[in-house]
Amino acid sequence: MGGGGFMMDPASPLDDYLLSLSPERRPRVCFVPTPAGDRDAVIAAFFEAFAALECEPSCLRLWGAPERPGDLLADQDVIYVSGGNTANALALWRLHGVDRALRAAWERGAVLGGVSAGANCWFDSCVTDSFGPQLGQLADGLGLLPGSFCPHYDGEPRRRPVYRELVANGFPAGYAADDGVALHFVGTELREVVATRDGACAYRVEPGSEMPLEPRRL
């Protein structure tokens, strides 16, 4: 998700859409709020939003004393990563082996998703504010999806020009998503783009070109 979900709208259709991708009637969904620093308010918002949905919600905290995070993730049908600081999350995941657990979940067919940092993390590279508000590049993602990603494409005025300039200067080509837009990949192939509002879109961004990917309206 380029932006959206319960962190921006407590009744976001994107959260329902994420759950609908699991074949389970009542999927087990684990919230991973590492990018948000495991903040209590964010975790409480997740449980409040998902208590109203057909699922079994849980949460993986890494701050404090985590108990075998890989075991918790191994039992999940859906894994939902919060927004926040992409670089900090990747560093903590690697320290605790969460990166390996996420890859194992992807390989067994679990639904992986998230918003902003929770979308950045799956790609090789991304545009991020992890190092300051001026925006910059991060080339150390989990690499489940090839290329790069830029969230908040219409939500923050500097996202589009920074991403296009980076790609023009040799940064990996990839995808951008407006707020309220999600890209659904099966394996590494883009299956569908969905949006919660008219006019919102996703884009394939390559050197010198930006191709709109028209979404299905939820």
End-to-end alpha carbon distance in the chain: 13
**Rg, C-alpha atoms of the chain:** 16
| Amino acid code (one letter) for 79 | I
C-beta of residue 138 within 8 angstroms of C-beta of residue 125: yes
Catalytic option among 22, 82, 116, 148 = 116
C-beta of residue 167 within 8 angstroms of C-beta of residue 173: yes
d(CA 125, CA 110): 22
Beta-carbon contacts of 54 under 8 Å, excluding residues fewer than 6 positions away, are: 19, 25, 26
C-beta of residue 105 within 8 angstroms of C-beta of residue 112: yes
Decide the pairing of beta strands 145-150 and 123-128.
Answer: parallel
The question of whether 184 is a catalytic residue gets the answer: no
The question of whether 12 is a catalytic residue gets the answer: no
- Catalytic sites, residue numbers: 116, 152
